[in-house]
Amino acid sequence: MDLLILGGTVFLGRHLVDAALAAGHQVTLFNRGQHGAQLFPQVEKLRGDRDGGLSALAGRRWDAVIDTCGYVPRLVRASAGLLAGSAAHYTFISSISVYRDLDQAPVDESSPVGILADPTVEEITGESYGPLKALCEQAAETAMPGRVLNVRPGLIVGPHDPTDRFTYWVWRAALGGEALAPGRPQRRVELIDARDLAGWILRMVEAQQTGIYNATGPLYELTMGEMLETCRRASGLDMRFTWIDEAFLLANGVAPWSELPLWLPEAENAVMAVAYQRAIAAGLAFRPLAETVQDTLAWLRTDRITADGDLASVQMRAGMALAREAELLAAWQAQQEKQR
């Protein structure tokens, strides 16, 4: 298969390239060359900009296109429109953020998506991101009707994650000592290894499957407690997580999700209960969580630590500063002592 990937050098994109090359496909990348330009020297690289700089794609043909970096419907419309006569199949990587009421479980592929009061808005914010992705899906389908696969991933994790949301917990466990864990251990968590997602997307592309699929995991109902225990075991250290209830965290101004990744107050946690049985029925499969944790830790140790540093020196892009964590743990313990 002759495959064009829009993007292809950041996180899911690079795992898609790895999967495609391993399967023996011919890969062409189209991007601006601003990230990971040194990656994949064996593949053809076309340089350009999705905003008015698509000329490198003109006059070429591919069997399929995977769009990993579409965020604005106008630009997706331009890309898909240009490629409509040049490729048989178009995959758009969307997000479960498209859903209008993620706090109203259960959410599946038929649930309503968010709508912008002004559909011409292009500024990407926390409020506009999901509706813009929904409009991007529609733009791709309009350009290539009946030939589009829309994939709506949940939280993507694993090596090369630029967000550090899941990686923060792997890192924190590997530092050892006492660590703060938020809310209830039984609270549900959904996530998917980028490599599992990439492999499944490629199989769907090979089969020219179309339609909408939520894509998250795992195969069973994962809890925050089990996830952190897996991180603890992978660390090999005598460390422990101290669970602090959400009322205390909120009262102390802890920011859900950003300051403590994967934690949302119970009333908002339906985002971690999106249905993805349709993707499983279409062959989505998952590696053990322990493998994802171990590989993420190995990536941290090989790619993120400076020559003269250690794990504690790694600058996390998400998560809580160690000093702030220590203050909260001390305050929590003092409160528990006072209540005894």
What percentage of the chain has pLDDT greater than the value 90? 94
Shared-domain flag, residues 250 and 136: no
- What is the average per-residue pLDDT within 61-68? 98
Shared-domain flag, residues 14 and 149: yes
What CATH number has the domain bearing residue 140? 3.40.50.720
Would you say residue 255 lies in a domain?
yes
Would you say residue 321 lies in a domain?
yes
Q: What residue spans of 5-62 are helical by DSSP H?
A: 12-22
Q: Which of 195, 200, 234 is nearest to 214 (CA)?
A: 200
Would you say residue 162 lies in a domain?
no
- What is the average per-residue pLDDT within 144-161? 98
pLDDT, one tens digit per residue, over 106-129 is 899 999 999 999 999 999 999 999
Which pLDDT score, from 0 to 100, does residue 326 have? Answer: 98
Average pLDDT for the chain: 96
Which pLDDT score, from 0 to 100, does residue 168 have? Answer: 98
Shared-domain flag, residues 10 and 44: yes
Would you say residue 209 lies in a domain?
no
**Segments of 154-277 assigned E as strands:** 156-157, 178-182, 188-189, 192-193, 211-215, 222-223, 240-244
Shared-domain flag, residues 252 and 126: no
Per-residue confidence at 79, pLDDT binned at 50, 70, 90? very high
Which pLDDT score, from 0 to 100, does residue 271 have? Answer: 87
Rounded to an integer, what distance in angstroms lies between the CA atom of residue 105 and that of residue 107?
A: 5
Rounded to an integer, what distance in angstroms lies between the CA atom of residue 66 and that of residue 4?
A: 6
Q: Which of 279, 272, 300 is nearest to 150 (CA)?
A: 279
Would you say residue 302 lies in a domain?
yes
Would you say residue 161 lies in a domain?
no
Shared-domain flag, residues 84 and 135: yes
Which pLDDT score, from 0 to 100, does residue 258 have? Answer: 94
- Given a cut of 80, whether residue 308 has pLDDT beyond it is no
Per-residue confidence at 105, pLDDT binned at 50, 70, 90? confident
Shared-domain flag, residues 226 and 128: no
Would you say residue 280 lies in a domain?
no
Would you say residue 239 lies in a domain?
yes
Shared-domain flag, residues 97 and 234: no
Which pLDDT score, from 0 to 100, does residue 54 have? Answer: 98
Q: Which of 159, 202, 247, 259 is nearest to 16 (CA)?
A: 202
Q: For the chain, how many structural domains are there in total?
A: 2
Shared-domain flag, residues 252 and 329: yes
**Segments of 68-170 assigned E as strands:** 87-93, 148-153, 156-157
Per mean pLDDT, which range of 76-90, 98-112, 190-204, 234-248 is the poorest? 98-112
pLDDT, one tens digit per residue, over 273-295 is 999 999 999 999 999 999 999 99
pTM over 0.85: yes
Domain housing 264: 167-189+219-272+289-339
**Segments of the chain assigned E as strands:** 2-6, 26-31, 44-47, 62-67, 87-93, 148-153, 156-157, 178-182, 188-189, 192-193, 211-215, 222-223, 240-244
pLDDT, one tens digit per residue, over 210-254 is 999 999 999 999 999 999 999 999 999 999 999 999 999 999 999
Shared-domain flag, residues 135 and 181: no
Shared-domain flag, residues 175 and 127: no
- What is the average per-residue pLDDT within 53-64? 97
Which pLDDT score, from 0 to 100, does residue 323 have? Answer: 97
Rounded to an integer, what distance in angstroms lies between the CA atom of residue 197 and that of residue 68?
A: 12
Shared-domain flag, residues 171 and 149: no
Shared-domain flag, residues 266 and 128: no
Which structure tokens are listed for 127?
A: 């409020």
